[in-house]
Every structure is written in structure tokens, then in C-alpha cells.
Amino acid sequence: MRVAIADDSVLLREGVTRVLEASGIEVVAAVGDSAELVAAIERTVPDLVIIDVRMPPTYTTEGLRTALALRRSRPEIAVMMLSQYVEESYAAELLSGDMSGIGYLLKDRVADVGRFVKAVRRVAEGGTALDPEVVSQILARHRGKSTVERLTPRELEVLGRMAEGRSNSGIAEALVISESAVAKHVNNIFAKLGLALADADHRRVLAVLRFLRVDRDR
């Protein structure tokens, strides 16, 4: 697997590079801004890019806008956002299309190196890795409080674990509840959100995120 990293923090770039290389993942570029990333992609053709949301020169949404452009021009390259921020409108646009090979993790909530590396591999292989907080904020912003209030606190927890790509057994283990209880919560989530059930845990996440699809100009 070949990975390119874009983050204006030298320490973070070096840290992520060392973590990935220690796990046998090749880092083909580690750059500090979007322009350098675009050039590196043309030069190295990575399988996955890890991008911060806010980068030079304005430190607003350069990274996300680059990710959106990359998804349009090079959909075969997987994209993982790794940031301190959830930019809801751009994030919703990024997550509203084909969800294959998409990740959005929050730096401050990455507490386990092993799980981070697994998430990188999953996204590179065409899967999904989303921080539950990202899903929660997009849901709250774009569907209003009435939708959020349909779900119980436990159902929101289950939805967040689904967004991480976990199976029912993985959710049960994380929340220390039975698999039958998880299955009940999952059925309730889809019923309340008006979504059809799907067989694969990954596709359930896609269905939830497609429910969140909105027009940015709305």
C-alpha cells in the first residue's frame, strides 16, 4: 500500500509516517500544503491520501476542498481526512457520493495506534472509517434536532459504532451489551430514519450517510 500525507504540522507528518512505516505501509510523500499534495499525487500515484482539513495558505478548508477535487478527478485514490475539525457542509458533500474508500477521523480522538492503522488499511481497500462525532455533527446540522431526537442515547452510540465500520458483534463488545440488543437497536435506527435494512455493516453506514445527503446551498 502506498500512502501520501498532507498536514502543515511537521511533527504530525513525521509521527504518522513512522506509525505507518512501522506497520509495513509505504509512505511515498509527506507534504505541508494542498499544492504540494496535488504535485505529489501526480508524481507518486498513491493508493490513499491522508489530508488535514485546514492547511496553508488560509487555514480554512483547503484540505477538504482538495479532497473533493481528488474524488472527482481520481476516484480510484482513497481519501482519509485526519483533522481536529468537522467542517459540516464540506464533509457532508464529501460523504454524500460514493462512499468507497472514504475516512474522516478526528486527531484528538485517535487513541489507539493499532486501530488507526486498521482504519487506514480498511479505507485503502475501499472501506469506510468515520469518527462517530463526525456523523453526529453532520446529522445534527443537516437534519435538525427533530431527527436526532428520534434516536435514544444508546441508539446514537450504536450509530456511531456503525460509522466506525463495526459489525454487530464488534458493537456489542465495544458497548458491553448482547448482540441481540445491538440487532434491536440497529432495527430501531433504520425504522426511525426510514431506511431499508442492509446485510453488510459497511453498507448500513453508507445508507445512513446517504440519508444525510443534502444540497450545500439548502
One-letter identity of residue 41: I
The set of cell numbers assigned to 121 is: 488499511
Write down the CATH number for the domain with range 1-130: 3.40.50.2300
User: pLDDT by residue (tens digit) across 54-92?
Assistant: 888 888 889 989 999 999 999 999 999 998 888 777 777
Q: What is the pLDDT of residue 27?
A: 97
3-state helix, strand, coil split of the chain in percent (to 5) is 55, 15, 30
Specify the range with the lowest mean pLDDT, choosing from 44-58, 99-113, 133-147: 133-147
Q: Specify whether domain 144-218 bears CATH 1.10.10.10.
A: yes
* Structural element, H or E, at residue 179: helix 179-193
- Write down the pTM of the prediction: 0.72
Long-range contacts of the stretch 107-115 (C-beta < 8 A, 24+): 107/12, 107/82, 107/83, 108/84, 109/133, 110/82, 113/19
Residue-level pLDDT at 189? 80
Burial of 42 (0-12, 13-18, 19+ CB in 10 A): exposed
With bands split at pLDDT 50, 70 and 90, how would you rate the model's confidence at 186? confident
Percentage of residues in the chain with pLDDT exceeding 90? 42
Domain boundaries of the chain, sorted by first residue: 1-130, 144-218
Q: Regarding predicted confidence, which is higher, 197 or 57?
A: 57
